[in-house]
Amino acid sequence: MFDTKADSFAQELDIEGILEPEPTNAHDPNAVILRVHGYVIGYVAQQFASSIKSQIGSGIKVGCKLLWNRDPEASMISVVITSVEN
């Protein structure tokens, strides 16, 4: 489940999620969210949201790699889409 690097605080987790449009978003009507187990994990970067939204319809399952750094001095979370289910 977790891949902890011995020499760092980095961790990885492979997860499945759903990319779905969020047309009611007050800041960006083209917003696209990533949901995992019903929870919003984050948003597609605004510069890519419109393009992604046009490709996913009402939603699409994706494989993801959740990466984070547990170091309190440099906390960071990233999500990388690794696969798309047709």
Distance of CA 31 to the CA centre of its chain: 13
Query: Is residue 41 within 8 Å of 19, Cβ to Cβ?
Result: no
DSSP state of 73: T
The pLDDT of 68-85, averaged and rounded, is: 75
> Tens of pLDDT along 30-66?
999 999 889 988 899 999 999 999 999 899 999 988 8
DSSP state of 7: T
Residue type, 2: F
Beta strand 39-43 with 10-21: parallel, antiparallel or unpaired? unpaired
| Domain tally, the chain | 1
* Residue indicated by tokens 């959740």: 66
Residue 34 lies in a domain: yes
Residue 2 lies in a domain: no
Residue 16 lies in a domain: yes
Residue 3 lies in a domain: no
pLDDT at 71: 67
Band of pLDDT at residue 13, cut at 50, 70 and 90: confident
Taking the model in full, what pTM does it have?
0.74
DSSP state of 74: S
Residue 1 lies in a domain: no
Domain that holds residue 20: 10-84
